[in-house]
Structure 1
Amino acid sequence: MGPQATCPGWGYLSGLQVRTWIEPVVASTQVASSLYDAGLLLVLKESLGARVANHSASTSPRGALEDQQQKAISNFYIIYNVVTGLTPLLPAYLLGWLSDRFHRKISICVALLGILLCRLALLFKVLWDWPVEVMYWAVALNGLCGGLSAYWAGVISLGSLGSSEGGRSVRLIFIDLILGLGGFCGSMASGHLFQQMSEKAWQGLVLTACSVSCASFALFYSLLVLKVPKSVAKPRKALPTVDTVSGTIGTYRTLDPDQPDVPSVAGHPQSPGKARSPKSMIVLLFLGAIMYDLAVVGTVDVMPLFVLRAPLSWNQVQVGYGMAAGYIIFITSFLGVLVFSRCFRDTTMIMIGMVSFGSGALLLSFVKETYMFYIARGVMLFALIPITTIRSAMSKLIKDSSYGKVFVILQLFLTLTWVVTSTMYNKIYQVTMEKFVGTCFALSSFLSFLAIVPIGIVAYKQASWLKHADITETKRC
């Protein structure tokens, strides 16, 4: 008797193809990243704080020293973010092209090597008291290996290949859920791990060592265990009627570019405008993603500086808890997609997420107490839905063989947006922190609501196609 006969569940378990799951890589990498992000911020606070104190007059008031420390940290992040964003541009695209042409794991494995080297640099900085400027070189090396742009594009490609069109939105948001859980665990532990060493000079050694360990696990798992899943997308029929797209009311043709000449209804060829619709939709989705990313990046980059100064003035443990609160959004966004996808279109879910983030950012601009901060973060409970759902929508409009290239291009656009926005917002924060510290958050709120416009145009196009399909089907009947 075979194993399937002795164990009825064996056939199901064998079909799960555990080695194709990208989730272990995502979880371990995100734990490493959350520990690294918190560790870098706390190391900068200690190192640059001591540097500012040594170069300032002993009679300087505490508020003046705090402002100088804030500006020093902000200036560091301006250069750091520029290097982080610009160095991966060419390598990430090249890795995406190689992944499409030769092997899907190339971009992930090379990018994870760079991430590991960057985490090692922070460990050595703490261990041997290197100057903080060494992190510029570390993050540049990470960028030359593709950085997060190549890594995340590879993750999305494998996730899309291993899911059907109908379940892709849920599949990708589930990957984000795993990322959020990993980030939550790492952030919750970061403040406590940072304080493990009694010697002040070595504070953060345990935290950075844990970050390196998690990054090492992710790299070796992707090299030795991870397998590329086979595409499970069902091929189109020669004479299809109207395809159903997940997350929509009714049905409309997805305009699959693999079959541009197939008529949407037998005997009724597509109009020229309709044949060009996927390109216009992709452009609008790109525009919506970039505008929304402008809002998110501005808030996320300024928030660590905001919580370190008055009126909040958080300590190391509170900083870790605050970062962990941000990862709760991954859980609530996942649950939101599970519920909303049953009754709303993808575009409607995207707009719900944008309204959620914009409202939370507006509340964040008026935060004066810690409990108000957590209320504002709670309002952002669906903030992750837009970018993930936009990626899902794009994957339904492009060929499987183009996933690596297209997702890398999108990620590079988002990275360039992040570089420009980070520099702009850090400068705005430095200018306005003494007058109205919430200026950056108010600006992010405005941009988030503005990003709804291109998504609304896509929704209108979809509604028009749905109406056209219903009318055509009625005529046939």
Structure 2
Amino acid sequence: MECAPVHHALGKWLLYLNLNAEVLKGILHTIRMKGLFLVEPVVALYAFSSFLIYPLVQQYVYRRLWQELTNTTYPDSGNTSRCVTNTSTNQSSYHEVVQRQASLFSLYTDLFSTIPSLIVTLMLVAYSDRGGRKITIIMPLIGALIYALAFLTVSYFELNIYLLIGSSLLSSLFGGLGTFLGGCFAYIADLCEDGRQKTLRMAGLDMMIGLLAGVASVSTGYFLRAAGFNWPFLTCALCQCLVILYTIFILEETVKKTHADAVHLDGSTQSTALKQMIYGVYKMFLGASRRCKIILILLMLIFTSFSFTYVGGISMMTLYELNEPLCWTEILIGYGSAMSTTVFLISFVGVLAFTYCGLPQLLIVLIGILSVASGMVMVAFTKTTLQMFLGRVPMLLSIMPFPVLRSMMSKIISRSEQGALFACLSFLDSLTNNVSTAVFNSVYASTVAWYPGFIFLLSAGLCVIPLFFLGVVGLIGVDVAKESEEDPVEDQNENSPLLS
């Protein structure tokens, strides 16, 4: 008799848990039924986790190479510049040797991972026109998780540092940043019909990257100072797991496959998928008028040439800051990286303001290119910490050309070829980014001994190339976007949920 109240209470508790489980299941079912077309949280978490360790990667490689090449411990001087306490001739020669080897290490990493990443990017994003956008988002997330776990393993067990090159190659087989962004931008293009809305939504993705990347970059220095390298790598891996679960179970697909498409895709071979990819790209150019083709090619040339100059210069910032006469600590590098990523937020505000003011899109692109050129020239002549921070100020609008150019190209192409378009853009973006990083690392390794700032003057000078193509577009095709809206290409994407 004494056990009856206990059994009764236990039964009520189990019933309560069962009801709560049913409620939770119902909520999840409702989310799945209604569909959640928000890719911004995916981009936000991906940006946070990536930029949490991105400043650490070069620092970790730099410190390991310092220990291996000099047989001395890495100098640490608290919150002040290491150059204040290390001014001997040996320290200066050590910096030159380690700088050269660190840049070559980055060169080898990029060379080994470029080709697999490019092939996967082109195939996956083009395939997404029929197979769905989510695969182009999930695969790079898995690759990023592998990359973070590899760094954690090498750091925790102090394995050979050159194993990181192999991990970079392995993660590139799942795609890369180009694949991820290509899928996300194609996802946005599926949801937006209005040209202005598409421009602002794409600029919003860039802003989301900058906002979360800035928070992560500020945290990186303090995280490293307090817990070392292992905990940031572990935190990045956990964030990647979280965003993978969100993408798989919550994010809805924008491309709905019919039964016939599913049977065809499930039975297709790799060669068939490759043919479909090539046909999708061919059809993209075939469907546009001759003038639109010319403008599309010119816009792609502006996009890739500007990406080459911008990414190449930005990729050398951390090595330049670690070198004399700056010799920044991890705290200062974190603040510098955060200021670099705030350009995404400021550029979004710039695109938003200029768009609502009716400023021509080509003029917005021009402002962004000039922003990069002026900032790189200032950075090339910096000698103090204050000058380095001030040199980043002119580059606060440097991201504006990317969403504007993507939107302009997306207006020319019909909705059924959006995946093919962003596959081309992602392929070209990944190619130019990897090639530019390799080229700039090689040039920096050759010029660091006599003038480290030369690399930024080179970046500023190369801005002439996108400016030239921009002038050509301004002369022959200012009103292409308007023409494409008045006479749009026939849309054949009947599987889009927006049309059903």
- TM-score bin, normalised by smaller chain: 0.7 to 0.9
Of residues 265, 268, 282, the one that matches 2:296 is 282
Identity of aligned residues (%): 25
Of residues 134, 146, 150, the one that matches 1:105 is 134
Cα distance in 2 between the residues matched to 1:388 and 1:131: 40
Of residues 71, 74, 89, the one that matches 2:103 is 74
Cα distance in 2 between the residues matched to 1:449 and 1:352: 13
- Retained in 2: the 8 A contact 1:196–1:206? no
1:368-387 aligned within 5 A: 368-387=383-402
1:76-475 aligned within 5 A: 76-164=105-193, 165-197=195-227, 203-229=228-254, 275-342=289-356, 343-463=358-478
Q: Give SS of 2:325's match.
A: coil
Unaligned runs of 5+ in 2: 1-30, 74-87, 257-281, 485-500
Cα distance in 2 between the residues matched to 1:287 and 1:170: 22
More displaced 10-residue stretch of structure 1: 412-421 or 142-151: 412-421
The alpha-carbon distance between structure 1 residues 282 and 195, as it changes in their structure 2 partners (threshold 3 A), is same
Cα distance in 1 between the residues matched to 2:440 and 2:247: 36
Cα distance in 2 between the residues matched to 1:137 and 1:109: 21
Q: 1:440: Cα distance to partner?
A: 0.9
Cα distance in 1 between the residues matched to 2:394 and 2:206: 19
User: How does the TM-score come out when normalised to structure 2?
Assistant: 0.78
1:4-15 aligned within 5 A: none
The alpha-carbon distance between structure 1 residues 440 and 278, as it changes in their structure 2 partners (threshold 3 A), is same
Cα deviations by residue, 1:20-53 (Å, 9 ceiling, x for unpaired): 1111100110111101212212211221110011
Q: 1:275: Cα distance to partner?
A: 3.1
Who is 2:76 aligned against?
A: none
Cα distance in 2 between the residues matched to 1:127 and 1:260: 50
Who is 2:44 aligned against?
A: 27
Cα deviations by residue, 1:299-350 (Å, 9 ceiling, x for unpaired): 1121111000111100111111111110110111011001111221211111
- Retained in 2: the 8 A contact 1:85–1:418? no
Amino acid at match of 2:192: S
Cα deviations by residue, 1:95-139 (Å, 9 ceiling, x for unpaired): 123311122211111111111111111111111111111111111
Amino acid at match of 2:307: D
Q: Give SS of 2:412's match.
A: coil
Cα distance in 2 between the residues matched to 1:318 and 1:422: 23
Q: 1:55: Cα distance to partner?
A: 9.2
Who is 2:70 aligned against?
A: 53
Matched residues, number: 411
Cα deviations by residue, 1:258-305 (Å, 9 ceiling, x for unpaired): 99999xxxxxxxxxxx93111101100011111111211221121111
Q: 1:230: Cα distance to partner?
A: 7.5
Cα distance in 1 between the residues matched to 2:481 and 2:43: 37
- Retained in 2: the 8 A contact 1:39–1:204? yes
Cα deviations by residue, 1:227-252 (Å, 9 ceiling, x for unpaired): 13479xxxxxxxxxxxxxxxxxxxxx
The alpha-carbon distance between structure 1 residues 230 and 412, as it changes in their structure 2 partners (threshold 3 A), is closer
- Retained in 2: the 8 A contact 1:98–1:106? no
Cα deviations by residue, 1:64-103 (Å, 9 ceiling, x for unpaired): 1111111111111001112232221222222123311122
Give the structure, 1 or 2, with the largest relative contact order (CA under 8 Å, sep 6 or more): 2
Unaligned runs of 5+ in 1: 1-13, 198-202, 232-256, 263-273, 470-477
Q: 1:463: Cα distance to partner?
A: 3.9
User: How does the TM-score come out when normalised to structure 1?
Assistant: 0.81
Higher helix content, 1 or 2: 2
Cα distance in 2 between the residues matched to 1:258 and 1:427: 38
